[in-house]
Amino acid sequence: MAWPLLGNSGTLKGSPMNGSDEQTEILRAIWRQLGEVSRTLGERIDQTNAHLAQLNARLDQTNTRLDQTNTRLDDFASRTNDNFARVQRNLEAMHDTLVLLVKRDARVDDLDARLTRVEQHVGLADR
């Protein structure tokens, strides 16, 4: 901001002998300009602080949503792991059952073969 009361050389216009009234007026004008700059700067700082408060509120909301999402993801991961473990146990049980069925099928085949031999030996196979 240019000081209208300063000369081209940056010194006060006029002679220092002009009296203290002129210098007082110059200082008052400078003081008024500084006051206006201070008010303007204060308003800008207040606006910036209000904007930062809004951004902080949005950031808090985003963090809350992120925490909620992380909690849901952790719960989902836990349930998924539980489901995989249950499926694994079910598959192992099915395998054990299948092994038993294969053994029983082989035993039934053995019993059928024995029965056939008995029938032939006794003579019932011809009927």
What pLDDT is attached to residue 19? 56
Question: Does position 5 have pLDDT exceeding 70, yes or no?
Answer: no
pLDDT in tens, 67-79: 999 999 999 999 9
Lowest mean pLDDT among 11-15, 26-30, 90-94: 11-15
Domain edges within the chain = 18-122
Q: Which is more confident, 3 or 79?
A: 79
* DSSP code at position 1: -
Percent of the chain surpassing pLDDT 70:
83
pLDDT tier, 17 (very low <50, low <70, confident <90, very high otherwise):
very low
Q: What is the mean pLDDT of residues 43-50?
A: 95
pLDDT (0 to 100) of residue 68: 98
Per-residue model confidence (pLDDT) at position 91: 97
The whole-number average pLDDT for the span 90-101 is 95
The residue ranking higher by pLDDT, 109 or 65, is 65
Cα(120)–Cα(77) distance, integer angstroms = 64
The vertex-8 CA angle with 7 and 12, nearest 5°, equals 25
> Considering the entire predicted model, what is its pTM?
0.49
d(CA 97, CA 79): 27
Q: 3: closest CA among 31, 38, 40? A: 31
